[in-house]
Structure 1
Amino acid sequence: MKQNFTPGAPHKARKRFGQNFLIDHNIINQIARSVHPRPDDIVVEIGPGQGALTEPLAASATTLHVIELDRDLVPWLKVRFEKHPGFSLHQADALKFDFAELADDNRPLRIVGNLPYNISTPLIFHLIGYADIVQDMHFMLQKEVVKRLAAEPGTKAYGRLTVMAQYYCNIDWLFDVPPGSFDPAPKVDSAIVRLTPYKTLPHPARNVGVLEKLVTAAFGQRRKTLRNALKTFCDPLQLESMPVDLSKRAEALTIADFVALSDAIEPYVL
């Protein structure tokens, strides 16, 4: 069932913005229940589009920031939601947005979004950089991306995104969303995922920058052994003292393994 809009409702979805507007009220309500915003939360919605999810979020949260790139949607969103005193609209690119501007000392951010599939991975990398000021993140993503986020070692989906997301966050695959829940219907299945940043990292790296370089190098040559991937960091003699079996491939390592390896190569990288 499609949502009813007031006269002058927004234009059709634009492919260049990766827009697929959510129209299924059952799914909208299910997402809202999963987020369960409370009055004192700072909720941030990325890509509100035509406001389908914005409505229940604004009804529950006193403070709601929405970030919309499409300038043509901005005036309509303002008119529709300006009745909510805690509503703020930011016409901006979420990939470049400084989310630290929205947090305060006592209230972490709760981020929600139907993320455009064409920028979902870089946007997740951008957002986990703010993990220390985020309570949780609920995203609608392409199902294949959710598989990668929730993947386990030894699987094809396990990769750079998996390791870095799971380093910072606990990942919960909540439920799937069929193409017919959108207008226009995408050619792929979607899913809702919750990322909850750890208050205390289970496996803290001595230098997360080195960890990031290691993970990028390891999965950049995922068919090769770790020994080959580490040649750019260490000489052959240094590789002999590594705490991980370097004959393995990157997808065989756990998060703890990557951190142990990162700590071991740190003196040679800096």
Structure 2
Amino acid sequence: MSLADLPPLRESLEAHGLFAKKAFGQHFLLDLNITRKIARLAAPLEDVQVIEVGPGPGGLTRALLEAGARVTAVEKDARFLPLLQELAEAADGRLTLIEADALTVDEDALAGGGPFKVISNLPYNVGTPLLIKWLSRPEPPAQMALMFQREVAQRIVARVGEEAYGRLAVISQAVCEAALVMDLPARAFTPPPKVASAVVRLEPRAERPAPALLASLERITAAAFGQRRKMLRSSLKALGGETLCEAAGIAADRRAETIPVSGFLDLAQALLQRD
């Protein structure tokens, strides 16, 4: 059997008696036109190693395989493994299934030590922790095309001064160029979630923070945005307050939402040098 011979996704779900589990944040994309568009947004994929998290019934997985990718799919919900195994048997050895929690897997081991892309319709309940995990790697993925709740997607791509601008935007944009590239209404999913979704594409910057500086940036942003309405002299008091701001060349009476990514990197560097 080839990929073209596989039955429609709804038929496969019914044949295996499968349904989405709310506890796992599952919402299935069964429209192959949509999943193929997501794959095109992450092109080129021919002979590219891709890690996919939470494939569920395999709608996006099919599109990635059709585009020529070599896919390692990490699925926590063992119910879907028999259905995905049918897809693997039609994929000419280009689909590897891993039953695991994506928060704990070693991506380098999954990718064989080489470069890889991460392309996923992420489970809503672990999307942000997974993104932070991948951004915090010494070498981030070659590209990420990830689906989140639209509110989370907006927080990733927000610019300084915008309402959604915060810790997630600073860390994401310090490491990558981030763009919202596709909106999806709730009705595109089975079952429909209560919110809209969006795909964010992240491309690693040629110059990005070293791991130690990124760890320092996480401390700075956690403090600054944890009390975002306060001036930096107050929100960063435990990390040095006015002295730290002075070392970074930033006025201590400014608030977190007014500081661009470059300013937060200056603060992180000052903290790193002090420690």
Could you state the TM-score of these two structures normalised by the residue count of structure 1?
A: 0.91
Instruction: Encode CA deviations 1:175-213: one digit per residue, 9 max, x unaligned.
Output: 100111100001101111101112322x76973222211
8 Å CA contact 1:139, 1:192 repeated in 2: yes
**Corresponding residue for residue 56 of structure 2:** 49
1:214: which partner in 2?
220
1:175 aligns with 2:182: yes
Structure 1 residues 49 and 225, CA gap change in structure 2 (3 angstroms):
same
Count residues in correspondence: 267
1:163 to 170, 173, 190: 170
The more displaced of 65-74 and 208-217 is 208-217
Amino acid at match of 1:94: A
Q: Distance in 2 between matches of 1:148 and 1:120?
A: 12
Letter in 1 for 2:225: F
Greater fraction helix: 2
Partner of 1:86: 94
Offset, 1:23: 2.0
Sequence identity of aligned pairs in percent? Answer: 36
| Residues in 2 aligned to 1:119 and 1:17: alpha-carbon distance in whole angstroms | 9
SS of the counterpart of 2:118?
Answer: strand
Aligned with residue 130 of structure 1, among 113, 118, 137: 137
Give the RMSD, CA atoms, in angstroms.
2.2
Instruction: Tell me which stretches of 4 or more aligned residues in structure 1 moved more than 3 Å.
Output: 1-4, 203-206, 235-242
In structure 2, distance between residues paired with 1:72 and 1:205: 37
Deviation at 1:38, TM superposition (A): 2.8
Deviations along 1:198-234, one digit per CA (max 9) or x if unpaired, are 2322x76973222211111111111111101221122
Q: Confirm whether residue 18 of structure 1 aligns to residue 25 of structure 2.
A: yes
Task: Pick closer, same or farther for the CA change 1:264–1:115 going to 2, 3 Å.
Answer: same
SS of the residue 1:118 aligns to? coil
Show the 5 A alignment for 1:17-36: 17-36=24-43
Deviations 1:134-182 (A, max 9, x none): 1101111100011101101112211111100111111011010011110
Q: CA deviation at 1:62?
A: 4.8
Q: Answer yes or no: is the 8 Å Cα contact 1:205–1:211 preserved in 2.
A: no
Q: What is the distance in 2 between the residues matched to 1:139 and 1:60? A: 17
Q: Which residue of 1 aligns with 2:108?
A: 100
Distance of 1:6 and 1:68 partners within structure 2: 16
Structure 2 length-normalised TM: 0.89
Task: Report deviation, 1:2.
Answer: 7.0
